[in-house]
Chains A and B, each alone.
Chain A
């Protein structure tokens, strides 16, 4: 099962994972990653914008790529848009597979691509106003690990 969503409101990664696990009794393991708004460094809020014609289709293509590359029984990609408070979950990635190595790798692959290739723009509000977040060089290096 491919479960790809853009979420305009807060969500519970725990509940989403429980549903995903229930949908995949055949999987021997599920690897997941949750990204959340860092609550330090004076960040008051985070805002994620997207471009509807590209963002969800791009995430669906990414999910399809992971399914084609590893023997998965399912993959889940949930990503927030809109205004987020510190501590709030931004992204949830999960991969279900018969064997753990495939699940770990597919989740890692999906996160690296969501960070530096998916169509999202992030800015954070600090005491002195809004600041756009640029991708870091490490994010591109992380993604480059999967090139083939």
Chain B
């Protein structure tokens, strides 16, 4: 890539908010600086969103895979974390 200006930009950790969490976040996506662990993620989220994320009902996907234990989160710049509230399909 010859795009030097873009290449020089720091790439953060991408956060994706699904369902009602997007309303709490005020947007479907956000980017924050890495590296990021579970306490770091909670600290980076605004209060109501952090409270929701901390409940057992909210799951975490890391680069497209659901984490069995979200406290094991270890994200670096360029990674994608999705916050998944209870689903309702059909």
Contact = CB atoms under 8 A, between A and B. Distances in A.
Interface of A: 35, 48-49, 51, 53-54, 79, 90-91, 111, 114-123, 132-135, 139
Interface string B43-86: 00000000000000000010110100000000000001010111
B64 A53 contact: yes
Contacts of B88: 115-116, 120-122, 132-135, 139
Interface of B: 16, 18-20, 23, 61, 63-64, 66, 80, 82, 84-90
Tell me the interface secondary structure of chain A in the complex. mixed
B59 to A, nearest CB: 10
Given A51-B84, A53-B61, 13 more contacts: A48-B89, A53-B82, A54-B84, A91-B89, A114-B90, A119-B89, A120-B88, A120-B90, A121-B18, A121-B85, A132-B19, A135-B87, A139-B88
